[in-house]
Structure 1
Amino acid sequence: MTESAVYLQPAFILQHRPYRESSVLLDVLTRDFGIVTVLAKGVRKQKSKMAGLLLPFSLLQLSYLDKNELKTLIQAETVTRYPLQRLALYCGFYVNELVQKFLHKHDPHPRLFFCYQHCLQDLSQHECVEQTLRYFELALLEESGYGAQLDVEQQEGRAIETGRRYAFLADVGMVGASDGLVSGETLLALSAKMPLKGAALPEAKQLLRKMLDVHLQGRPLKSREVLAKIVKYL
C-alpha cells in the first residue's frame, strides 16, 4: 500500500503504552479520523524532545505517516493544555476510558471531538463536575448510536410531562412508571441541555449510568472503580 501522510491533525491522547525498548504506542482521538494508534519512536529516550509533549488532556496537532494499520508519528505540537488536578484528573481518565469503550477505531466523530474538548475545559476550570460528566456521557451515547429520545414517552408516544416519573427500558427508551428513577422535569432539562440542579443531578446520574451499562454489556470500567472509592459522582 502507498504510504501517505497526515499533517497537523487535531488530536488528544487517550492512552499510551510502552513499545519495545524506547518507543510508545499512542491511542489518540483525532478530529477527522476517529481513534487511531500511532507509534512514537524513541520518545522514551532521555534526549527525546517530543516526550514532554505527548501528554493526555492536551490538544495537540499531530503529523504522522500512514501505512496500513501502522502509523508513525513524525511531529507533535501542543495547542492547549487542560491541567486536570485531583478529582478532575480521575474524571478525565474516566472520560478517556468511556471513549475507548464506545467508539470504534477509524470512525470519525467531529462533534464528539469538540464535546470532549469542552468537557476537559470545564473540568480544568472546576465547573460543576457532575453536570459536565452527565452531558458528555449523553453526547457519547448519541454520537455512538445509543442515544434515547428524552422528551417523548415511547409507549404512549406523547411528550414527557412534568409531575410524572419515568423509567428507562433498553431498546425502548423512556416509559411512564410511578416508581421510575427519573422525573419529567429532569428529562426535559437533559433534553434541552439546561443546567442540572437539585434532584436533577442524582436522577441524571442514575439514568445515564443505566443507559451506559446497557451498552457496556458487563464490561467493567477501571476508572469507575477507582473513582467509586473516592467520590460518588460516577
Structure 2
Amino acid sequence: MATKRISDEPAFILHQYDWSESSLILETFTRHYGRVALVAKGAKKPTSNFRPVLLPLQPLRVSYGIAGEGHGDIHALKSAEWVGGHIMPSGDALLSGLYLNELLMRLLAREDTHAPLFDIYAGVVRVLASEHGDALEPVLRSFELVLLREIGLLPDLHVETATLAPLEPDARYALVAEGGLRRAASGERFALSGAHWCALHDALADNTTSFTTTLRVMIGTGLAGELKSQLRALLQYHCGSQLLRTRQLMMDLQSL
C-alpha cells in the first residue's frame, strides 16, 4: 500500500499518552493539517532520539507517513526536530499553556485545518515563555476569543443574540453559554458595556491582526478580568460537562 509522507510540518505537541511499553501516541497541532494523532515508536526507550524533543509548548517540525485509504486516524511519526526560539514556560505560564492545549484537544476536530489559529497559538506560546504575572490574563482572554471565533462558537458581539438588536453603548450585556449575548440583569456582576463588546467585535473582525488588535483592546480597557468568568463558562459549555483538568489543577493549587 502506498504511503504518503508529510515532511517538515510545523507542529506543537498538545498531549501524549502510552501506546505500548516503548511507544507513545502524540496529539499534535500542525499548521497545515490541524490536530493530528501520531505514534512515536520506541520514543520511551532511553536511546530514542525522540525523548529530548517531544515536549509540549515547544515548536517542532515533524515528518510522518500516511497510508492509503482506510489508514485510520493515527499516523506514524518518522522524525521530529526542535525548531528552537524560546525556553519552556514555567510556573503559572506553564499551567496556562497546558490549559490552552487542553482547549485545543477538546474543541478542535481531527485533521481540520486552522492555519491562522496555529500562528496565533505559536505567538501566544512565545509570550508565555517570556512573560508572567499580570501579562498572562489579557493574552489568555484574547486567545479564548479568537479560538471561539475560529471554530464558529462565538456569537456576534455587536448585537443581542436573541433579537439581533444593536447594542446600546452605555447598557451592560452578558455573554452566556446557551443564550449568547444578552442584556445584563440588574446587579449582574459579570457584564460589559455595549461599547466594549463592539470594540472587541471590531478587533476580531480584522482577520489579519485579530489577536494583536484584540489584545490591544484588552490591555487598553482592562476587560480581561471581566471577561474571564464569561468566557470560561462558555468554553466549559462547549467542552462538555467534565471540568477541564488544567482548571481543576489550578483550583487545587490555589487552595493549598
* TM-score computed with the length of structure 2 as normaliser: 0.83
- Tell me what 2:143 maps to: 136
Mark the runs of 5 or more structure 2 residues left unpaired by the alignment.
204-213
Q: Distance in 2 between matches of 1:155 and 1:144?
A: 21
Q: What amino acid does structure 1 have at the position aligned with 2:182?
A: V
SS of corresponding position for 2:46: coil
- Tell me what 1:163 maps to: 170
Deviation at 1:189, TM superposition (A): 4.1
1:22 and 2:27 are equivalent in the alignment: no
1:106 and 2:111 are equivalent in the alignment: yes
Greater fraction strand: 1
Q: Distance in 2 between matches of 1:229 and 1:207?
A: 21
Q: What amino acid does structure 2 have at the position aligned with 1:14?
A: L
Q: Distance in 1 between matches of 2:197 and 2:252?
A: 28
Q: Distance in 1 between matches of 2:176 and 2:42?
A: 50
1:205 and 2:228 are equivalent in the alignment: yes
Q: Distance in 1 between matches of 2:235 and 2:152?
A: 12
Indicate the percent of aligned positions where both proteins have the same amino acid: 32
RMSD: 2.1
Deviation at 1:73, TM superposition (A): 1.2
Q: Distance in 1 between matches of 2:52 and 2:3?
A: 28
Deviation at 1:172, TM superposition (A): 4.3
Mark the runs of 5 or more structure 1 residues left unpaired by the alignment.
none
Map 1:60-75; keep pairs closer than 5 Å.
Answer: 60-67=60-67, 68-69=71-72, 70-75=74-79
Deviation at 1:164, TM superposition (A): 1.2
Given that 2:11 and 2:30 are in contact with CA atoms closer than 8 Å, whether structure 1 keeps it comes out as yes
1:223 and 2:246 are equivalent in the alignment: yes
- Tell me what 1:176 maps to: 183
Q: Deviations over 1:96-120 (max 9, x none)?
A: 1010110111111111111211211
Q: What amino acid does structure 2 have at the position aligned with 1:33?
A: Y
Greater fraction helix: 2
Q: Distance in 1 between matches of 2:228 and 2:96?
A: 14
- Tell me what 1:33 maps to: 33
Deviation at 1:44, TM superposition (A): 1.5
Deviation at 1:155, TM superposition (A): 4.1
Q: What is the number of residues matched between the two proteins? A: 232
- Using a 3 Å threshold, how does the CA distance of structure 1 residues 231 and 110 change in structure 2: closer, same or farther? farther
- Tell me what 2:208 maps to: none
Q: Deviations over 1:31-65 (max 9, x none)?
A: 11111111111122212222111111111110011
Given that 2:62 and 2:77 are in contact with CA atoms closer than 8 Å, whether structure 1 keeps it comes out as yes
* TM-score computed with the length of structure 1 as normaliser: 0.90
Deviation at 1:169, TM superposition (A): 4.2
Deviation at 1:226, TM superposition (A): 0.7
